[in-house]
Amino acid sequence: MQVTWKLPDGAEITADVADGINMMEAATANNVPNVIGECGGNLSCATCHVYVADDWAEKTGAADEFEDAMLDVAEAPRRDTSRLSCQITASEGLNGLVLIVPGA
Ligand code: FES
């Protein structure tokens, strides 16, 4: 699948991501700024916080209760479309996904 990250400065990074890879791993592999992934995808840091583009929010689904709790401690303000990107896994159904990276 292909994913595009929209950066706070208006730039975009687009990359091909293999099925099964999560969006935090994909972001760090593609040097997307502000997506850190400090806990390695274990749902305990919230440094992989992103906003899902409105068009994609339904397809990526909602955060479960554990992710929801972690989103409350994310550094950037939380929005309705906030997700922890380590909890979004690449699949063909998400081809074209757009993620918005919070400012630093
Ligand atoms: S990488 Fe730590 S919560 Fe996603």
Query: Which tens digits make up the pLDDT trace of 22-78?
Result: 999 999 999 999 999 999 999 999 999 999 999 999 999 999 999 999 999 999 999
How far does residue 66's CA lie from ligand 1's centre (Å)?
A: 11
Ligand 1 mean position, distance from CA 49 (Å): 8
82 pLDDT higher than 90: yes
Q: Map out the domains of the chain as residue ranges.
A: 2-100
Query: Strand, coil or helix: what is 33?
Result: coil
Stretch 74-98: mean pLDDT: 97
Instruction: Specify the CATH architecture of the domain 2-100.
Output: Roll (3.10)
Mean pLDDT in residue range 2-21: 98
- C-alpha dihedral sign at 96, 8, 46, 30: positive
pLDDT at 104 over 90: no
Which atom of ligand 1 sits closest to the CA of residue 84? 4
Query: 52 pairs with which residues across the strands?
Result: 99
Does residue 39's CB lie within 6 angstroms of at least one atom of ligand 1? yes
Q: Residue 72: what pLDDT?
A: 97
* pLDDT for 14 beyond 70: yes
